[in-house]
Amino acid sequence: MMGLDCKEVTRQLASDESPVNRRGRFLIALHLFLCNKCRRYKAQLEIIGKTARDLWARPRDDEALGRLRDRIFMRDS
């Protein structure tokens, strides 16, 4: 028996609920080691997070930033 079922593992992963103790961490790690479906689920969450970060990559040279600086500091002065 793997200790935790897949449903519980996915719930903890997706809600960012960190295990309260060493045993909890061990059970999650063990389950992921044994279960390729939950590993794939975890990989999906990671891909989604990374894609979102890339999608709205910080607008460093965005002209909107210049425009906003003007608007913010004009109001201020």
Give the residues lining the site for another protein (CB under 8 A). Answer: 5-8, 10-11, 14-17, 37-38, 40-41, 43-45, 47-49, 51-56, 58-60, 62, 64-65, 67-69, 71-73, 75-76
- Cβ neighbours of residue 4 closer than 8 Å, sequence gap 6 or more: 27, 28, 31
Residue 30 Cβ, how far from another protein at the closest point, in Å? 15
Residue 35 Cβ, how far from another protein at the closest point, in Å? 8
Residue 28: name the closest of 36, 20, 19, 17 by CA.
Answer: 19
**First vs last Cα of the chain: how many Å apart?**
67
Residue 31 Cβ, how far from another protein at the closest point, in Å? 11
